[in-house]
């Protein structure tokens, strides 16, 4: 199968304004819709409700984190025609909480109501080839490049791998998240085995880069083309899943921060994007910056904004989709965000309730649980954000929480 994905996205059209700035704002208590019922949809709904909006969620699963809090849950698939029509009939605007929402559904909704982000922006982030092609295409404006890479769709592509791409990481082009759909490879033979193990779907081989640390930049852009950028978040992953986000990042230099923020501003503008966009970057051991991938929605690494910034990433998404002025991204407290995975409900094989009473007793601790009732190892169940007068204060409480929860800090 030849990859045609890179051609499918019309980059020129992406830069076109999606709606005239004259489109009036959608004011509370009107309805806002969200595609997807996970924790991001839940926190979006809570932010929207705080501002007086009503929220309807479209999600096939009956019991879902967003459905528990939204005023209305439409239990149907993301491509269900009558369900999409119901969203159109009820909502002033629709957003998505996950990047793998069928882009065609967003396009269909956008024929009748305001959709942010739109199908084109989401499509780029759904497909690693389109995403890398886009990053390369706007490198002159953004000042950053992605990792050297090559599309692997056939055995001939594997034969043609140059030594400079090895060792590398083979990633499926679509549906990868939390390190799923990725295999580390040292040789062409490894690539062949990994390609086969993933069922021969189109992949991207990326050169393994020497990472010093990882950062993400949360940005939001309104219909009027104005954009805002949050402070740089420094991220630590464990087993492919985000473990902590620390802001300000202890390793982030002022020069790196400026470069990453400028890159994010250029990327979101080049996409003609409306809404919250999170861009992940690698900082290499030589200090250089490499753009990795982007998420067309609020992001796990932006959860700290709920407790440490003037406007949370979810409130920002509400503002963008409702065509209200964007909010202040200023951070008022240093913060460490700790992801809570299902692992903390288990000691060995024994189930135990985590000691939330002890965790919330820690100064500056803000507990967020997502209403999921079946903890499993590796499943995101919630997060705790520790804020302090100084980053050291926040870090100390984070370490204390790790001790309480049985997590290695
Ligand atoms: P996410 O949960 O962020 O959606 P993902 O599964 O889409 O993750 P990536 O973000 O591309 O995958 O990669 C996951 C992690 O693997 C990165 O955060 C980084 O630690 C490591 N990684 C990915 N690509 C490279 C690379 N080219 N060189 C070195 N490390 C890499
Ligand atoms: Mg990633």
Q: What is the pLDDT of residues 163-205, one digit of tens each?
A: 999 999 999 998 877 777 899 999 999 999 999 999 999 999 9
pLDDT at 18 over 60: no
Q: Whose CA is nearest to atom 26 of ligand 1?
A: 208
- The binding-site residues of ligand 1, defined as CB within 6 angstroms of any ligand atom, are 147, 169, 176-180, 182, 206-209, 211, 214, 237, 240, 280, 292-293
When pLDDT is averaged across residues 79-97 and rounded to a whole number, the result is 98
Instruction: State how beta strands 72-74 and 54-58 pair.
Output: parallel
Average pLDDT, the chain: 94
Helices 119-126 and 128-137 pack at an angle, to 10 degrees, of: 110
Q: Does 226 score more than 50 pLDDT? A: yes
- Which of 240, 277, 284, 300 has most ligand 1 atoms within 8 Å of its beta carbon, as the pocket-test mutant? 240
The fold adopted by the segment(s) 211-405 is D-amino Acid Aminotransferase; Chain A, domain 1 (3.30.470)
% helix, strand, coil for the chain, step of 5: 35, 25, 40
Domain 11-125 class, CATH top level: alpha beta
Q: Which residues have beta carbons under 5 A from ligand 2 (an ion)?
A: 280
Closest C-alpha among 281, 167, 132, 165 to residue 213: 281
From ligand 2's centre to the CA of 322, what distance in Å?
Answer: 28
Ligand 1 atom closest to Cα of 210?
29
- Range of lowest pLDDT (7-16, 201-210, 212-221): 7-16
Q: What is the pLDDT of residues 301-315, one digit of tens each?
A: 999 999 999 999 999
CATH number of 148-207: 3.30.1490.20
The structure's pTM equals 0.93
Ligand 1 atom closest to the CA of 182, numbered from 1: 6
Ligand with the closest atom to the CA of 185: 1
User: Which of 98, 169, 234, 243 to probe ligand 1 with, by most ligand atoms within 8 A of CB?
Assistant: 169
What are 79's two structure tokens? 């491509």
Tokens 């954000």 sit at which residue? 385
Give me 124's structure tokens: 């780029």
pLDDT digits (tens, 9 = 90+) for 355-397: 999 999 999 999 999 999 999 999 999 999 999 999 999 999 9
Q: Identify any residues that bridge with 275 across adjacent strands, giving them in sequence order.
A: 221
Distance of CA 179 from the midpoint of ligand 1 (Å) = 6
Nearest to 74 by CA among 116, 318, 48, 66: 66
Q: Which residues contact 155 (CB under 8 A, 6 or more apart)?
A: 192
CA distance 87 to 402: 42
Task: Quote the distance between the C-alpha of residue 209 and its chain's center.
Answer: 22
Ligand 1 atom at minimum distance from 181 CA: 6
Residue 387 burial (C-beta neighbours within 10 Å; 0-12, 13-18, 19+): buried
State the closest ligand 1 atom to the C-alpha of 179, by its place in the atom list counted from 1: 6
User: What end-to-end distance do the CA atoms of the chain give, in Å?
Assistant: 45
Higher pLDDT, residue 382 or 18: 382
Supply the residue whose CA is at minimum distance from atom 13 of ligand 1: 179
Q: pLDDT tier at 88 (50, 70, 90 boundaries)?
A: very high
Residue 2's pLDDT is 34
Ligand 1 atom with the shortest distance to the CA of 292: 11
Q: Where do the domains of the chain lie?
A: 11-125, 148-207, 211-405
- 300 pLDDT above the threshold of 70: yes
Residue 350 has pLDDT above 60, yes or no: yes
Report how far ligand 1's centroid is from the alpha carbon of 91 (Å).
36
For residue 180, which ligand has an atom nearest its CA? 1
| Predicted local confidence at residue 20, as pLDDT | 46
Residue 235 alpha carbon, nearest atom of ligand 1? 18
Amino acid 299: pLDDT: 98
148-207 shares the fold of 11-125? no
pLDDT digits (tens, 9 = 90+) for 247-291: 999 999 999 999 999 999 999 999 999 999 999 999 999 999 999
- Nearest ligand to the CA atom of 99: 1
pLDDT at 22: 58
pLDDT tens figures, 116-128: 999 999 999 999 9
* Pairing mode of beta strands 233-238, 241-247: antiparallel
* pLDDT attached to residue 176: 72
Distance 280 CA to ligand 2 centre (A): 6
Q: In this predicted structure, what is the pLDDT of residue 175? A: 80
Residue % of the chain over a pLDDT of 70: 94
């Amino acid at each position: 199968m030849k990859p045609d994905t890179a051609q499918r996205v019309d980059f020129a059209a992406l830069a076109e304004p999606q709606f005239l700035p004259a489109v009036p704002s959608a004011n509370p208590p009107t309805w806002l819709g969200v595609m997807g019922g996970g924790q991001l949809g839940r926190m979006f709904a809570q932010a929207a409700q705080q501002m007086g909006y009503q929220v309807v969620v479209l999600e096939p699963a009956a019991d879902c984190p967003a459905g528990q809090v939204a005023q209305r849950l439409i239990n149907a698939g993301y491509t269900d025609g009558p369900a999409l029509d119901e969203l159109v009939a009820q909502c002033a605007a629709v957003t998505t909480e996950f990047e793998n929402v069928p882009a065609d559904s967003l396009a269909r909704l956008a024929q009748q109501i305001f959709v942010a982000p739109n199908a084109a922006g989401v499509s780029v982030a759904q497909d690693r080839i389109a995403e890398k092609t886009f990053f390369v295409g706007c490198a002159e404006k953004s000042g950053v490049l992605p990792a050297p890479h090559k599309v692997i769709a056939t055995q001939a592509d594997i034969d043609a791998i140059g030594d400079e791409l090895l060792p590398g990481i083979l990633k499926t082009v679509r549906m990868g998240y939390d390190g799923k759909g990725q295999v580390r490879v040292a040789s062409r033979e490894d690539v062949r085995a990994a390609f086969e193990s993933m069922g021969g779907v189109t992949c991207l081989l990326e050169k393994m880069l020497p990472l010093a640390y990882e950062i993400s930049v949360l940005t939001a852009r309104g219909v009027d083309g104005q954009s805002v950028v949050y402070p740089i978040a420094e991220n630590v992953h464990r087993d492919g899943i985000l473990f902590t986000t620390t802001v300000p990042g202890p390793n982030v230099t002022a020069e790196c921060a400026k470069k990453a923020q400028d890159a994010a501003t250029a990327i979101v503008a080049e996409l003609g994007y409306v809404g919250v966009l999170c861009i992940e970057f690698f900082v290499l051991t030589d200090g250089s910056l490499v753009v990795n991938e982007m998420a067309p929605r609020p992001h796990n690494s932006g959860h700290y904004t709920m407790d440490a910034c003037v406007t949370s990433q979810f409130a920002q998404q509400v503002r963008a989709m409702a065509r209200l002025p964007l909010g202040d991204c200023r951070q008022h407290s240093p913060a460490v965000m700790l992801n809570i995975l299902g692992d903390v409900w288990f000691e060995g094989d024994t189930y135990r309730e985590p000691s939330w009473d002890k965790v919330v007793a820690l100064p500056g601790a803000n507990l967020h649980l997502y209403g999921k009732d079946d903890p499993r190892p590796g499943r995101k169940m919630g997060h705790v954000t520790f804020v302090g007068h100084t980053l050291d204060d926040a870090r100390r409480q984070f370490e204390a929480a790790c001790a309480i929860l049985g997590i290695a800090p």
